[in-house]
């Protein structure tokens, strides 16, 4: 779809001046024919659609008026797509490229928008994914595997001040300290063998028992068998689940191959595709990893888009909020 959008943009730019209006009329007609005809419920007071009437248009967007509360709204009101000039095709392209790991600049070029606009669109999707994960309260049941992996702290996109705790480094550089240190960010992941995933970052270096409880304590049932690599901190879950430390990974059942495969997926995405992720946005990308791992991308595009246009207000984020809302702060990160 990205190539088609770019091709359409190039073709429009090549049109003679007198034919542009003709093309605009055709496109507007197509948009009109494909716009949802049903009258929605009121997103303000929840009144049913039989109390809502059409109330003119704002550009190409249909407006509505609620006879119960008297407020006006459009189909995008209180959704993550509010105030966006992009339609379904454009948003689905952004979602698909985000899931595939296409760079912001390449997606921006496909839609002929600026880097800043595409950054904001992508982070609306990421912020929505993180909020949905928090609301969903995923449960790791049956048999689950828990382990952590590490990525270097990153302040990508921010100039490091002279008094910062370390010198600036380029992408691909190694940590200054040997072994696991406070230069590294822990990504804790739990994956059950039925496919449920919990991924979160709350600390630097090796996670403590308190960190493990903070991430997994509310997501593991009492009958769940937890498999790990023998880390003592995982034993903190013993009061909410039966814990088994894996000492012989050659055993066909007691292994943590699934979570290790998930870690490889995260590392590939983070280092080779996204070319680093700013640590303050790490949990947004963790939520995206959980959504996209082992899933059919086309199906996930539809799922995420339907969440995006919900009029619930849960995922409605103003542009100013995107840079501050729920960002990760581990004590020495630059805001």
Examine residue 333 and state whether it is found in any structural domain, yes or no.
Answer: no
Examine residue 268 and state whether it is found in any structural domain, yes or no.
Answer: yes
Examine residue 40 and state whether it is found in any structural domain, yes or no.
Answer: no
| Residue 191 in tokens | 């994956």
How far apart CA 220 and CA 85 sit, in angstroms, is 42
- Domain coverage including residue 194: 138-297
Indicate the number of domains in the chain. Answer: 1
Examine residue 15 and state whether it is found in any structural domain, yes or no.
Answer: no
Examine residue 234 and state whether it is found in any structural domain, yes or no.
Answer: yes
Burial class for 18, CB neighbours closer than 10 Å (0-12, 13-18, 19+):
exposed
Examine residue 12 and state whether it is found in any structural domain, yes or no.
Answer: no
The answer to whether the CB of 123 falls within 8 A of the CB of 322 is yes
Block means of pLDDT (10 residues each) for the chain, 335 residues, are: 71 74 74 65 77 75 82 75 78 90 88 90 90 86 91 84 77 78 91 92 90 88 84 79 61 82 93 87 93 86 86 76 82 58
Beta bridge partners of 61: 58
Examine residue 220 and state whether it is found in any structural domain, yes or no.
Answer: yes
Beta bridge partners of 185: 151, 204
Examine residue 290 and state whether it is found in any structural domain, yes or no.
Answer: yes
Alpha helices in the chain (DSSP H): 2-13, 17-34, 88-100, 104-111, 115-136, 209-216, 257-267, 282-292, 297-308, 319-322
């Amino acid at each position: 779809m990205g190539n088609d959008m770019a091709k359409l943009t190039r073709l429009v730019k090549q049109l003679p001046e007198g034919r542009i209006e003709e093309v605009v009329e055709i496109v507007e007609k197509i948009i009109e024919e494909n716009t949802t005809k049903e009258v929605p419920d009121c997103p303000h007071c929840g009144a049913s659609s039989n109390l809502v009437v059409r109330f003119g248009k704002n550009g190409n967007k249909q407006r509505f008026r609620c006879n119960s509360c008297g407020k006006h709204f459009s189909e995008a009101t209180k959704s993550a797509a509010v105030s966006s000039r992009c339609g379904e095709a454009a948003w689905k392209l952004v979602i698909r490229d985000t899931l595939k790991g296409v760079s912001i600049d390449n997606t921006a070029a496909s839609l002929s928008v600026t880097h800043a606009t595409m950054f904001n669109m992508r982070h609306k999707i990421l912020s929505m994914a993180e909020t949905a994960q928090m609301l969903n309260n995923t449960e790791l049941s049956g048999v689950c595997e828990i382990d952590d992996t590490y990525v270097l702290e990153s302040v990508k996109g921010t100039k490091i001040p002279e008094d910062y705790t370390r010198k600036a480094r380029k992408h691909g550089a190694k940590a200054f300290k040997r072994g696991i240190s406070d230069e590294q960010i822990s990504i804790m992941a739990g994956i059950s063998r039925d496919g449920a995933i919990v991924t979160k970052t709350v600390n630097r270096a090796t996670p403590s028992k308190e960190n493990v409880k903070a991430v997994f304590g509310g997501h593991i049932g009492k009958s769940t068998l937890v498999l790990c690599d023998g880390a003592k901190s995982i034993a903190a879950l013993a009061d909410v689940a039966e814990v088994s430390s894996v000492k012989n990974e050659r055993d066909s059942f007691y292994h943590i191959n699934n979570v290790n495969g998930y870690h490889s997926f995260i590392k590939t995405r983070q280092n080779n595709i996204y070319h680093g992720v700013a640590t303050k946005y790490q949990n947004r990308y963790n939520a995206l990893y959980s959504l996209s791992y082992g899933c059919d991308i086309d199906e996930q595009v539809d799922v995420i888009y339907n969440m995006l246009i919900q009029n619930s207000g849960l995922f409605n984020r103003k542009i100013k909020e995107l840079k501050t809302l729920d960002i990760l702060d581990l004590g020495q990160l630059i805001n």
